[in-house]
Structure 1
Amino acid sequence: MSTLVYDSGAVLGRHLQRIRHAPGVVILTQSMPINMLLFFGYVFGSALAMPGEQYRAYLVPGLLAATAAGGLMTGMFQASYDAQRGVTDRFLSLPMSRVAVPLGQTLADLLTTLVGIVPLLLVGLAVGWRIESGVAGALGAVGLLLLFRFAAAWIGTYLGLLVRNEEVAGQLGAATFVLPLLSNAYIPSEGLPGWLRTVAEWNPISAIAAAVRDLCGNGAPAADAAWPTAHPVAGSLLWSLALLCLFVPLAVRRYARGGE
Protein backbone atom coordinates (compact mmCIF):
# COMPACT_ATOMS: atom_id res chain seq x y z
CA MET A 1 0.00 0.00 0.00
CA SER A 2 2.83 2.43 0.85
CA THR A 3 4.41 1.72 -2.54
CA LEU A 4 1.12 2.48 -4.28
CA VAL A 5 0.74 5.75 -2.40
CA TYR A 6 4.32 6.83 -3.11
CA ASP A 7 4.22 5.87 -6.80
CA SER A 8 0.79 7.43 -7.35
CA GLY A 9 1.99 10.62 -5.66
CA ALA A 10 5.01 10.75 -7.97
CA VAL A 11 2.82 10.36 -11.08
CA LEU A 12 0.36 12.91 -9.70
CA GLY A 13 3.20 15.40 -9.21
CA ARG A 14 4.43 14.79 -12.75
CA HIS A 15 1.03 15.56 -14.25
CA LEU A 16 0.57 18.68 -12.14
CA GLN A 17 4.01 19.92 -13.19
CA ARG A 18 3.13 19.35 -16.82
CA ILE A 19 -0.11 21.30 -16.39
CA ARG A 20 1.78 24.15 -14.75
CA HIS A 21 4.25 24.39 -17.65
CA ALA A 22 1.57 24.00 -20.35
CA PRO A 23 -1.66 25.47 -18.96
CA GLY A 24 -3.23 26.25 -22.32
CA VAL A 25 -5.25 23.04 -22.67
CA VAL A 26 -6.55 23.30 -19.11
CA ILE A 27 -7.53 26.94 -19.58
CA LEU A 28 -9.31 26.08 -22.82
CA THR A 29 -11.26 23.15 -21.39
CA GLN A 30 -12.18 24.98 -18.18
CA SER A 31 -13.27 28.18 -19.96
CA MET A 32 -15.49 26.36 -22.45
CA PRO A 33 -18.35 25.77 -19.95
CA ILE A 34 -18.32 29.48 -19.09
CA ASN A 35 -18.59 30.39 -22.76
CA MET A 36 -21.41 27.90 -23.18
CA LEU A 37 -23.21 29.32 -20.13
CA LEU A 38 -23.11 32.82 -21.57
CA PHE A 39 -24.05 31.67 -25.07
CA PHE A 40 -26.83 29.24 -24.14
CA GLY A 41 -28.09 31.39 -21.29
CA TYR A 42 -28.42 34.62 -23.22
CA VAL A 43 -28.96 33.42 -26.80
CA PHE A 44 -30.92 30.18 -26.55
CA GLY A 45 -32.55 31.07 -23.26
CA SER A 46 -34.73 33.66 -24.92
CA ALA A 47 -36.08 31.01 -27.33
CA LEU A 48 -37.18 28.58 -24.58
CA ALA A 49 -40.32 28.54 -22.48
CA MET A 50 -38.31 29.37 -19.35
CA PRO A 51 -37.52 33.03 -18.64
CA GLY A 52 -33.86 33.90 -19.15
CA GLU A 53 -32.79 33.97 -15.50
CA GLN A 54 -34.75 30.82 -14.70
CA TYR A 55 -33.14 29.02 -17.63
CA ARG A 56 -29.65 30.09 -16.55
CA ALA A 57 -30.38 28.69 -13.08
CA TYR A 58 -31.39 25.45 -14.80
CA LEU A 59 -28.37 25.50 -17.10
CA VAL A 60 -25.57 25.92 -14.53
CA PRO A 61 -26.06 22.47 -12.91
CA GLY A 62 -26.23 20.94 -16.38
CA LEU A 63 -22.93 22.54 -17.36
CA LEU A 64 -21.38 21.33 -14.10
CA ALA A 65 -22.49 17.81 -15.01
CA ALA A 66 -21.10 18.21 -18.53
CA THR A 67 -17.81 19.40 -17.03
CA ALA A 68 -17.69 16.28 -14.85
CA ALA A 69 -18.27 14.13 -17.94
CA GLY A 70 -15.35 15.96 -19.59
CA GLY A 71 -13.02 13.66 -17.67
CA LEU A 72 -13.69 11.18 -20.48
CA MET A 73 -12.02 13.49 -23.00
CA THR A 74 -9.10 14.63 -20.84
CA GLY A 75 -8.37 11.10 -19.60
CA MET A 76 -8.33 9.81 -23.15
CA PHE A 77 -6.04 12.57 -24.35
CA GLN A 78 -3.54 12.29 -21.49
CA ALA A 79 -3.29 8.49 -21.67
CA SER A 80 -2.89 8.40 -25.46
CA TYR A 81 -0.33 11.25 -25.32
CA ASP A 82 1.91 9.28 -22.96
CA ALA A 83 1.35 5.98 -24.74
CA GLN A 84 2.18 7.35 -28.19
CA ARG A 85 5.43 8.94 -26.95
CA GLY A 86 6.61 5.84 -25.13
CA VAL A 87 6.23 7.33 -21.65
CA THR A 88 3.84 4.56 -20.62
CA ASP A 89 6.31 1.87 -21.69
CA ARG A 90 9.10 3.56 -19.75
CA PHE A 91 6.93 3.58 -16.65
CA LEU A 92 6.28 -0.14 -17.18
CA SER A 93 10.01 -0.80 -17.14
CA LEU A 94 10.30 0.69 -13.65
CA PRO A 95 9.56 -1.19 -10.40
CA MET A 96 6.27 0.63 -9.85
CA SER A 97 2.78 -0.46 -8.91
CA ARG A 98 0.70 -1.15 -12.02
CA VAL A 99 -2.16 0.86 -10.50
CA ALA A 100 -0.04 3.93 -9.73
CA VAL A 101 0.27 5.43 -13.21
CA PRO A 102 -3.43 5.51 -14.20
CA LEU A 103 -4.38 6.41 -10.61
CA GLY A 104 -1.95 9.33 -10.50
CA GLN A 105 -3.25 10.60 -13.83
CA THR A 106 -6.90 10.46 -12.77
CA LEU A 107 -6.16 12.10 -9.42
CA ALA A 108 -4.36 14.96 -11.19
CA ASP A 109 -7.41 15.43 -13.40
CA LEU A 110 -9.62 15.43 -10.30
CA LEU A 111 -7.59 18.16 -8.58
CA THR A 112 -7.54 20.26 -11.75
CA THR A 113 -11.32 19.94 -12.05
CA LEU A 114 -11.85 20.95 -8.42
CA VAL A 115 -9.98 24.19 -9.07
CA GLY A 116 -11.47 24.68 -12.52
CA ILE A 117 -15.15 24.60 -11.51
CA VAL A 118 -14.72 27.61 -9.21
CA PRO A 119 -14.84 30.18 -12.07
CA LEU A 120 -17.93 28.48 -13.50
CA LEU A 121 -19.65 28.65 -10.11
CA LEU A 122 -18.78 32.33 -9.76
CA VAL A 123 -20.05 33.18 -13.25
CA GLY A 124 -23.18 31.14 -12.56
CA LEU A 125 -23.85 33.18 -9.43
CA ALA A 126 -23.27 36.37 -11.41
CA VAL A 127 -25.90 35.47 -14.04
CA GLY A 128 -28.61 34.53 -11.55
CA TRP A 129 -28.01 30.97 -10.37
CA ARG A 130 -28.39 30.49 -6.63
CA ILE A 131 -27.75 27.71 -4.11
CA GLU A 132 -31.07 27.52 -2.28
CA SER A 133 -30.40 24.52 -0.04
CA GLY A 134 -27.43 25.68 2.05
CA VAL A 135 -23.83 24.59 2.41
CA ALA A 136 -24.54 20.89 3.01
CA GLY A 137 -26.44 20.52 -0.25
CA ALA A 138 -23.76 22.38 -2.20
CA LEU A 139 -20.98 20.21 -0.75
CA GLY A 140 -22.96 17.09 -1.58
CA ALA A 141 -23.38 18.29 -5.16
CA VAL A 142 -19.65 18.99 -5.53
CA GLY A 143 -18.87 15.56 -4.09
CA LEU A 144 -21.10 13.84 -6.65
CA LEU A 145 -19.58 15.89 -9.47
CA LEU A 146 -16.05 14.93 -8.46
CA LEU A 147 -16.95 11.27 -8.06
CA PHE A 148 -18.45 11.19 -11.54
CA ARG A 149 -15.47 13.10 -12.96
CA PHE A 150 -13.18 10.48 -11.39
CA ALA A 151 -15.18 7.68 -13.02
CA ALA A 152 -15.22 9.45 -16.39
CA ALA A 153 -11.44 9.97 -16.22
CA TRP A 154 -10.93 6.22 -15.74
CA ILE A 155 -13.09 5.52 -18.80
CA GLY A 156 -11.02 8.00 -20.79
CA THR A 157 -7.77 6.52 -19.49
CA TYR A 158 -8.80 3.05 -20.61
CA LEU A 159 -9.81 4.28 -24.08
CA GLY A 160 -6.62 6.32 -24.43
CA LEU A 161 -4.47 3.31 -23.53
CA LEU A 162 -6.51 1.23 -25.95
CA VAL A 163 -6.09 3.48 -29.00
CA ARG A 164 -2.55 4.72 -28.08
CA ASN A 165 -2.81 7.43 -30.72
CA GLU A 166 -3.22 11.12 -29.91
CA GLU A 167 -5.03 12.01 -33.13
CA VAL A 168 -7.55 9.20 -32.79
CA ALA A 169 -8.09 10.11 -29.14
CA GLY A 170 -8.69 13.72 -30.16
CA GLN A 171 -11.35 12.66 -32.66
CA LEU A 172 -13.04 10.38 -30.13
CA GLY A 173 -12.82 13.13 -27.53
CA ALA A 174 -14.57 15.57 -29.85
CA ALA A 175 -17.37 13.04 -30.30
CA THR A 176 -18.00 13.01 -26.54
CA PHE A 177 -19.52 16.51 -26.82
CA VAL A 178 -22.65 14.78 -28.08
CA LEU A 179 -23.21 13.05 -24.73
CA PRO A 180 -24.44 16.15 -22.82
CA LEU A 181 -26.72 16.97 -25.74
CA LEU A 182 -28.42 13.60 -25.24
CA SER A 183 -29.27 14.43 -21.65
CA ASN A 184 -31.19 16.96 -19.58
CA ALA A 185 -28.08 19.11 -19.10
CA TYR A 186 -29.26 21.88 -21.44
CA ILE A 187 -33.00 21.32 -21.86
CA PRO A 188 -35.60 19.41 -19.81
CA SER A 189 -36.05 15.85 -21.04
CA GLU A 190 -39.85 16.01 -20.56
CA GLY A 191 -40.29 17.74 -23.91
CA LEU A 192 -38.32 15.17 -25.92
CA PRO A 193 -39.93 12.48 -28.10
CA GLY A 194 -40.59 9.18 -26.29
CA TRP A 195 -37.54 7.15 -27.40
CA LEU A 196 -35.19 10.12 -27.15
CA ARG A 197 -36.49 10.96 -23.68
CA THR A 198 -35.71 7.39 -22.59
CA VAL A 199 -32.16 7.68 -23.94
CA ALA A 200 -31.68 11.05 -22.23
CA GLU A 201 -33.01 9.91 -18.86
CA TRP A 202 -30.79 6.81 -18.80
CA ASN A 203 -27.77 8.93 -19.70
CA PRO A 204 -25.59 9.17 -16.54
CA ILE A 205 -25.13 12.89 -17.19
CA SER A 206 -28.87 13.41 -16.70
CA ALA A 207 -28.72 11.81 -13.25
CA ILE A 208 -25.75 14.00 -12.28
CA ALA A 209 -27.40 17.20 -13.55
CA ALA A 210 -30.68 16.37 -11.80
CA ALA A 211 -28.81 15.53 -8.59
CA VAL A 212 -26.98 18.86 -8.60
CA ARG A 213 -30.27 20.72 -9.17
CA ASP A 214 -31.92 18.74 -6.38
CA LEU A 215 -29.08 19.18 -3.87
CA CYS A 216 -28.72 22.89 -4.64
CA GLY A 217 -32.47 23.49 -4.40
CA ASN A 218 -32.87 24.37 -8.08
CA GLY A 219 -35.82 22.09 -8.72
CA ALA A 220 -37.05 18.61 -7.92
CA PRO A 221 -36.62 15.80 -10.46
CA ALA A 222 -39.59 14.72 -12.55
CA ALA A 223 -41.50 11.95 -10.80
CA ASP A 224 -42.32 10.16 -14.07
CA ALA A 225 -38.71 10.08 -15.28
CA ALA A 226 -36.61 6.93 -15.56
CA TRP A 227 -35.37 5.66 -12.19
CA PRO A 228 -31.82 7.16 -12.26
CA THR A 229 -33.21 10.60 -13.10
CA ALA A 230 -36.24 10.40 -10.79
CA HIS A 231 -33.89 9.43 -7.90
CA PRO A 232 -30.86 11.38 -9.05
CA VAL A 233 -28.64 11.24 -5.95
CA ALA A 234 -28.91 7.47 -5.67
CA GLY A 235 -28.74 7.15 -9.46
CA SER A 236 -25.57 9.26 -9.63
CA LEU A 237 -23.88 7.22 -6.94
CA LEU A 238 -24.80 3.93 -8.61
CA TRP A 239 -23.70 5.10 -12.06
CA SER A 240 -20.37 6.39 -10.75
CA LEU A 241 -19.60 3.30 -8.66
CA ALA A 242 -20.62 0.93 -11.46
CA LEU A 243 -18.39 2.74 -13.96
CA LEU A 244 -15.47 2.70 -11.52
CA CYS A 245 -15.91 -1.02 -10.82
CA LEU A 246 -15.88 -1.71 -14.55
CA PHE A 247 -13.20 0.62 -15.89
CA VAL A 248 -10.60 0.74 -13.10
CA PRO A 249 -9.61 -2.92 -13.61
CA LEU A 250 -9.91 -2.57 -17.39
CA ALA A 251 -7.60 0.47 -17.43
CA VAL A 252 -5.05 -1.14 -15.08
CA ARG A 253 -4.99 -4.35 -17.13
CA ARG A 254 -4.67 -2.38 -20.38
CA TYR A 255 -1.80 -0.34 -18.90
CA ALA A 256 -0.02 -3.49 -17.69
CA ARG A 257 -0.11 -4.94 -21.21
CA GLY A 258 1.75 -1.94 -22.64
CA GLY A 259 1.94 -1.86 -26.43
CA GLU A 260 0.82 -5.45 -26.95
Structure 2
Amino acid sequence: MTSTIPRTAPAADSLRDTATLTGRVLRHWKRRPVSIVLGLLFPVLMVLMFGYLFGGAMAVPDGDYMDFLIPGMLAMTMLFGLEAMVVNVTTDTARGVTERFRVMPVTTTAILAGRSIADVLNGVVGFAVMVATGLLVGWRPEGGPVAALAALGLLLWLRFAFTWVGIYLGFLLKTPDAAVAVQVLVWPVGFLSSAFVAPGTMPGWIGAVATWNPLSATATAVRELFANPTWNAHDWATEHSITLALIWPAVLTLIFLPLAARQYRALGD
Protein backbone atom coordinates (compact mmCIF):
# COMPACT_ATOMS: atom_id res chain seq x y z
CA MET A 1 0.00 0.00 0.00
CA THR A 2 1.33 3.38 -0.99
CA SER A 3 1.22 6.03 1.70
CA THR A 4 0.29 9.60 1.03
CA ILE A 5 1.04 12.73 2.99
CA PRO A 6 -2.19 14.15 4.38
CA ARG A 7 -2.66 17.85 4.00
CA THR A 8 -5.40 20.20 5.00
CA ALA A 9 -4.58 23.28 2.99
CA PRO A 10 -6.18 26.70 3.26
CA ALA A 11 -8.29 27.76 0.32
CA ALA A 12 -5.50 30.02 -0.98
CA ASP A 13 -3.01 27.12 -1.03
CA SER A 14 -5.53 24.90 -2.82
CA LEU A 15 -6.16 27.57 -5.46
CA ARG A 16 -2.43 28.09 -5.94
CA ASP A 17 -1.89 24.34 -6.35
CA THR A 18 -4.75 24.14 -8.83
CA ALA A 19 -3.29 26.99 -10.90
CA THR A 20 0.17 25.37 -10.82
CA LEU A 21 -1.14 22.00 -11.97
CA THR A 22 -3.31 23.61 -14.65
CA GLY A 23 -0.19 25.36 -15.92
CA ARG A 24 1.65 22.04 -15.96
CA VAL A 25 -0.95 20.52 -18.28
CA LEU A 26 -0.86 23.56 -20.57
CA ARG A 27 2.96 23.45 -20.75
CA HIS A 28 2.80 19.78 -21.75
CA TRP A 29 0.48 20.71 -24.60
CA LYS A 30 3.09 23.18 -25.88
CA ARG A 31 5.54 20.29 -26.16
CA ARG A 32 3.26 18.27 -28.44
CA PRO A 33 1.62 20.81 -30.74
CA VAL A 34 1.05 18.30 -33.55
CA SER A 35 -1.35 16.15 -31.52
CA ILE A 36 -3.16 19.25 -30.24
CA VAL A 37 -3.57 20.68 -33.75
CA LEU A 38 -4.77 17.35 -35.11
CA GLY A 39 -7.29 17.12 -32.30
CA LEU A 40 -8.61 20.58 -33.15
CA LEU A 41 -8.76 19.88 -36.88
CA PHE A 42 -10.54 16.54 -36.65
CA PRO A 43 -13.97 18.16 -36.02
CA VAL A 44 -13.29 20.44 -38.98
CA LEU A 45 -12.81 17.35 -41.15
CA MET A 46 -16.10 15.96 -39.88
CA VAL A 47 -17.90 19.21 -40.77
CA LEU A 48 -16.55 19.04 -44.31
CA MET A 49 -17.39 15.37 -44.64
CA PHE A 50 -20.93 15.53 -43.27
CA GLY A 51 -21.72 18.96 -44.66
CA TYR A 52 -20.54 18.42 -48.22
CA LEU A 53 -20.53 14.64 -48.76
CA PHE A 54 -23.75 13.74 -46.92
CA GLY A 55 -25.43 17.12 -46.50
CA GLY A 56 -27.30 16.91 -49.80
CA ALA A 57 -29.24 13.92 -48.51
CA MET A 58 -30.20 15.61 -45.23
CA ALA A 59 -33.54 17.40 -45.07
CA VAL A 60 -33.86 20.06 -42.39
CA PRO A 61 -37.20 21.86 -41.99
CA ASP A 62 -36.97 25.63 -42.48
CA GLY A 63 -33.23 25.77 -42.95
CA ASP A 64 -29.95 24.60 -44.42
CA TYR A 65 -28.22 21.43 -43.20
CA MET A 66 -25.00 23.29 -42.45
CA ASP A 67 -26.91 25.55 -40.05
CA PHE A 68 -28.20 22.40 -38.36
CA LEU A 69 -24.81 20.67 -38.35
CA ILE A 70 -22.51 23.32 -36.85
CA PRO A 71 -24.27 23.52 -33.43
CA GLY A 72 -24.25 19.73 -33.31
CA MET A 73 -20.54 19.67 -34.08
CA LEU A 74 -19.92 22.27 -31.37
CA ALA A 75 -21.46 19.81 -28.91
CA MET A 76 -19.47 16.92 -30.41
CA THR A 77 -16.26 18.93 -29.95
CA MET A 78 -16.97 19.02 -26.23
CA LEU A 79 -17.35 15.23 -26.22
CA PHE A 80 -14.07 14.62 -28.05
CA GLY A 81 -12.17 15.94 -25.03
CA LEU A 82 -13.17 12.84 -23.11
CA GLU A 83 -10.91 10.56 -25.17
CA ALA A 84 -7.92 12.89 -24.81
CA MET A 85 -8.49 13.14 -21.06
CA VAL A 86 -8.50 9.36 -20.65
CA VAL A 87 -5.27 9.03 -22.66
CA ASN A 88 -3.54 11.78 -20.67
CA VAL A 89 -4.58 10.36 -17.31
CA THR A 90 -3.57 6.79 -18.19
CA THR A 91 -0.25 8.00 -19.61
CA ASP A 92 0.60 9.88 -16.40
CA THR A 93 -0.39 6.83 -14.36
CA ALA A 94 1.73 4.47 -16.46
CA ARG A 95 4.76 6.79 -16.22
CA GLY A 96 4.49 7.13 -12.45
CA VAL A 97 3.60 10.84 -12.56
CA THR A 98 0.32 10.27 -10.76
CA GLU A 99 2.06 8.26 -8.05
CA ARG A 100 4.50 11.11 -7.44
CA PHE A 101 1.60 13.51 -7.06
CA ARG A 102 0.03 11.15 -4.51
CA VAL A 103 3.02 11.40 -2.17
CA MET A 104 3.35 15.17 -2.50
CA PRO A 105 1.67 17.62 -0.10
CA VAL A 106 -0.90 18.60 -2.72
CA THR A 107 -4.64 18.27 -2.28
CA THR A 108 -6.61 15.79 -4.33
CA THR A 109 -8.92 18.63 -5.32
CA ALA A 110 -6.07 20.64 -6.82
CA ILE A 111 -4.67 17.68 -8.79
CA LEU A 112 -8.01 16.76 -10.35
CA ALA A 113 -9.27 20.32 -10.80
CA GLY A 114 -6.04 21.28 -12.58
CA ARG A 115 -6.72 18.67 -15.24
CA SER A 116 -10.35 19.65 -15.54
CA ILE A 117 -9.71 23.39 -15.89
CA ALA A 118 -6.99 22.85 -18.49
CA ASP A 119 -9.33 20.69 -20.54
CA VAL A 120 -12.11 23.29 -20.35
CA LEU A 121 -9.63 25.86 -21.67
CA ASN A 122 -8.91 23.49 -24.52
CA GLY A 123 -12.65 23.37 -25.08
CA VAL A 124 -12.68 27.16 -25.51
CA VAL A 125 -10.07 26.83 -28.26
CA GLY A 126 -12.08 24.03 -29.87
CA PHE A 127 -15.18 26.23 -29.77
CA ALA A 128 -13.31 29.08 -31.49
CA VAL A 129 -11.97 26.78 -34.22
CA MET A 130 -15.43 25.32 -34.88
CA VAL A 131 -17.12 28.74 -34.95
CA ALA A 132 -14.50 29.97 -37.44
CA THR A 133 -15.06 26.87 -39.55
CA GLY A 134 -18.81 27.38 -39.47
CA LEU A 135 -18.53 31.00 -40.56
CA LEU A 136 -16.27 29.99 -43.44
CA VAL A 137 -18.78 27.40 -44.73
CA GLY A 138 -21.74 29.78 -44.51
CA TRP A 139 -23.19 29.10 -41.06
CA ARG A 140 -24.55 32.16 -39.29
CA PRO A 141 -25.57 32.47 -35.62
CA GLU A 142 -28.69 34.63 -35.53
CA GLY A 143 -29.42 34.81 -31.82
CA GLY A 144 -27.23 37.78 -30.89
CA PRO A 145 -24.13 38.14 -28.66
CA VAL A 146 -25.88 37.38 -25.35
CA ALA A 147 -27.33 34.15 -26.74
CA ALA A 148 -23.91 33.25 -28.18
CA LEU A 149 -22.30 33.65 -24.73
CA ALA A 150 -25.07 31.52 -23.21
CA ALA A 151 -24.40 28.85 -25.85
CA LEU A 152 -20.68 28.91 -25.03
CA GLY A 153 -21.52 28.56 -21.35
CA LEU A 154 -23.69 25.49 -21.97
CA LEU A 155 -21.04 23.91 -24.17
CA LEU A 156 -18.28 24.43 -21.59
CA TRP A 157 -20.59 23.19 -18.85
CA LEU A 158 -20.96 19.95 -20.83
CA ARG A 159 -17.19 19.81 -21.41
CA PHE A 160 -16.58 20.25 -17.68
CA ALA A 161 -18.87 17.31 -16.93
CA PHE A 162 -17.16 15.12 -19.52
CA THR A 163 -13.75 15.88 -18.00
CA TRP A 164 -14.81 14.09 -14.82
CA VAL A 165 -16.02 11.09 -16.80
CA GLY A 166 -12.64 11.04 -18.54
CA ILE A 167 -10.63 11.41 -15.33
CA TYR A 168 -12.56 8.60 -13.68
CA LEU A 169 -12.16 6.25 -16.65
CA GLY A 170 -8.47 7.14 -16.91
CA PHE A 171 -7.79 6.16 -13.30
CA LEU A 172 -9.98 3.07 -13.70
CA LEU A 173 -8.25 1.80 -16.88
CA LYS A 174 -4.71 2.80 -15.73
CA THR A 175 -2.87 2.02 -19.03
CA PRO A 176 -2.90 3.88 -22.39
CA ASP A 177 -3.58 0.62 -24.24
CA ALA A 178 -6.78 0.09 -22.28
CA ALA A 179 -7.81 3.68 -23.01
CA VAL A 180 -8.54 2.67 -26.61
CA ALA A 181 -11.68 1.02 -25.26
CA VAL A 182 -13.11 4.47 -24.53
CA GLN A 183 -13.78 4.88 -28.25
CA VAL A 184 -16.41 2.20 -27.81
CA LEU A 185 -18.14 4.64 -25.45
CA VAL A 186 -17.51 7.95 -27.22
CA TRP A 187 -18.62 7.18 -30.75
CA PRO A 188 -21.99 5.58 -29.92
CA VAL A 189 -22.76 8.49 -27.56
CA GLY A 190 -21.83 10.95 -30.29
CA PHE A 191 -23.71 9.37 -33.17
CA LEU A 192 -26.69 8.27 -31.11
CA SER A 193 -27.68 11.90 -30.68
CA SER A 194 -29.09 14.85 -32.60
CA ALA A 195 -25.62 16.12 -33.54
CA PHE A 196 -25.94 15.00 -37.17
CA VAL A 197 -29.55 14.05 -37.80
CA ALA A 198 -32.92 14.55 -36.15
CA PRO A 199 -33.94 11.76 -33.74
CA GLY A 200 -37.33 11.74 -35.45
CA THR A 201 -35.70 10.09 -38.48
CA MET A 202 -34.48 7.16 -36.35
CA PRO A 203 -36.36 3.97 -35.44
CA GLY A 204 -38.65 4.36 -32.41
CA TRP A 205 -36.59 3.36 -29.38
CA ILE A 206 -33.31 4.54 -30.90
CA GLY A 207 -34.86 7.94 -31.55
CA ALA A 208 -36.07 8.07 -27.94
CA VAL A 209 -32.56 7.33 -26.66
CA ALA A 210 -31.09 9.95 -28.99
CA THR A 211 -33.64 12.54 -27.85
CA TRP A 212 -32.66 12.14 -24.19
CA ASN A 213 -28.92 11.90 -24.85
CA PRO A 214 -27.04 14.63 -22.88
CA LEU A 215 -25.27 15.58 -26.10
CA SER A 216 -28.64 16.07 -27.83
CA ALA A 217 -29.84 18.35 -25.05
CA THR A 218 -26.86 20.66 -25.47
CA ALA A 219 -26.92 20.51 -29.28
CA THR A 220 -30.63 21.39 -29.34
CA ALA A 221 -30.19 24.16 -26.78
CA VAL A 222 -27.31 25.65 -28.77
CA ARG A 223 -29.39 25.55 -31.95
CA GLU A 224 -32.16 27.37 -30.11
CA LEU A 225 -29.79 30.02 -28.76
CA PHE A 226 -28.18 30.55 -32.16
CA ALA A 227 -31.67 30.64 -33.78
CA ASN A 228 -30.59 27.83 -36.10
CA PRO A 229 -32.97 25.22 -37.53
CA THR A 230 -33.84 22.14 -35.52
CA TRP A 231 -36.48 19.48 -36.11
CA ASN A 232 -40.24 19.61 -35.69
CA ALA A 233 -40.73 17.78 -32.40
CA HIS A 234 -43.06 18.53 -29.53
CA ASP A 235 -41.70 16.27 -26.81
CA TRP A 236 -40.64 17.57 -23.40
CA ALA A 237 -36.91 17.04 -24.00
CA THR A 238 -36.93 19.14 -27.15
CA GLU A 239 -39.12 21.92 -25.79
CA HIS A 240 -37.03 22.18 -22.60
CA SER A 241 -33.61 21.60 -24.14
CA ILE A 242 -31.93 24.48 -22.28
CA THR A 243 -33.17 23.13 -18.96
CA LEU A 244 -31.86 19.67 -19.86
CA ALA A 245 -28.56 21.15 -21.03
CA LEU A 246 -28.15 22.54 -17.52
CA ILE A 247 -29.33 19.42 -15.69
CA TRP A 248 -27.45 16.67 -17.56
CA PRO A 249 -23.91 18.02 -16.94
CA ALA A 250 -24.80 18.65 -13.30
CA VAL A 251 -25.91 15.02 -12.93
CA LEU A 252 -22.77 13.71 -14.67
CA THR A 253 -20.54 15.88 -12.48
CA LEU A 254 -22.28 14.81 -9.27
CA ILE A 255 -21.79 11.18 -10.24
CA PHE A 256 -18.30 11.14 -11.72
CA LEU A 257 -16.45 13.80 -9.71
CA PRO A 258 -16.71 11.80 -6.45
CA LEU A 259 -15.96 8.59 -8.36
CA ALA A 260 -12.83 10.16 -9.88
CA ALA A 261 -11.63 11.38 -6.47
CA ARG A 262 -12.24 7.98 -4.88
CA GLN A 263 -10.50 6.15 -7.74
CA TYR A 264 -7.52 8.50 -7.43
CA ARG A 265 -7.22 7.87 -3.71
CA ALA A 266 -7.46 4.11 -4.32
CA LEU A 267 -4.53 4.01 -6.76
CA GLY A 268 -1.75 1.83 -5.43
CA ASP A 269 -3.89 0.27 -2.70
The structural deviation recorded for 1:209 is 0.4
Q: Which residue of 1 aligns with 2:255?
A: 246
In structure 1, how many angstroms separate the alpha carbons of the residues matched to 2:137 and 2:27? 34
SS of 1:248 mapped into structure 2: helix
5+ unaligned residues in a row in structure 1: which ranges? none
**Does 2:2 align with 1:2?**
no
Question: Structure 1 residue 71 and structure 2 residue 67: aligned?
Answer: no
TM-score (norm 1): 0.95
Do residues 131 (structure 1) and 164 (structure 2) align? no
- Paired residues of 2:17 and 2:106 also in contact (CA < 8 A): yes
2:72/2:194 contact within 8 Å kept: yes
Classify the secondary structure of the residue corresponding to 2:180. helix
1:229-249: per-residue Cα shift (whole Å, max 9, x none)? 331110010001111111111
The residue correspondences of 1:30-179 to structure 2 (distance < 5 A) are 30-50=40-60, 54-173=64-183, 175-179=185-189
State, as a whole percentage, how many aligned pairs show the same letter: 38
After TM superposition, the score normalised by the length of structure 2 is 0.92
- 1:204 maps to what in 2? 214
> Kindly tell me: are residues 76 and 229 of structure 1, through their superposed partners in 2, closer, same or farther at Cα, counting changes over 3 Å?
farther
Q: 1:49 to 1:223 in 2, by over 3 A?
A: closer
Residues matched between the structures, number = 258
Give the Å deviation of 1:170: 2.4
Could you tell me whether the CA contact under 8 Å between 1:82 and 1:88 is conserved in 2?
Answer: yes
Deviation at 1:50, TM superposition (A): 4.0
CA apart distance, 1:7: 1.1
Could you tell me how far apart the structure 1 residues matched to 2:210 and 2:191 are?
Answer: 8
Which amino acid in structure 2 is aligned with residue 258 of structure 1? L
* Equivalent AA in structure 2 for residue 235 of structure 1: L
Separation in 1 of the partners of 2:93 and 2:176? 9
User: In the alignment, which residue of structure 2 is the partner of 1:235?
Assistant: 244
Structure 1 counterpart of 2:32, from 18, 22, 30: 22
Q: CA RMSD in A?
A: 1.6
Alpha-carbon shift at residue 222 of structure 1 (Å) = 4.4
Counterpart Cα distance in 2 of 1:21 and 1:2: 29
Q: What's 1:191 paired with?
A: 201
Please give the per-residue CA displacement for 1:189-237, whole angstroms capped at 9, x wherever unaligned: 1111111111101110000100100011113664423x33331110010
Equivalent residue number for residue 12 of structure 1: 22
Structure 2: tracts of 5 or more residues without a match: 1-10
Structure-1 separation of matches of 2:84 and 2:232: 32
